[in-house]
Amino acid sequence: MTGKEPTIITIDRLGPALRFHRKKAGLTQLELAKLAGLGKTVILDV
């Protein structure tokens, strides 16, 4: 172990966390989807 435990995010907090970090990175939902190799509807649904 590295001494740092991973953070567990519940499903109800996933959307807001994803949005926060996406905006912090200056990405649109479509840009994030492309970078993640996902369809844009996956990002929109989260």
The 3 state secondary structure assigned to 1-46 is: CCCCCCCCCCHHHHHHHHHHHHHHCCCCHHHHHHHHCCCHHHHHHC
pLDDT tens-digit profile of 5-45? 888 888 889 899 999 999 999 999 999 999 999 999 999 88
Closest-CA residue to 46 (of 19, 24, 23): 19
State the pLDDT at residue 46.
85
Query: In this structure, what are the phi and psi dihedrals at residue 21, rounded to the nearest 5 degrees?
Result: -70, -30
State the pLDDT at residue 8.
83
* pLDDT at residue 1 greater than cutoff 60: no
State the pLDDT at residue 35.
96
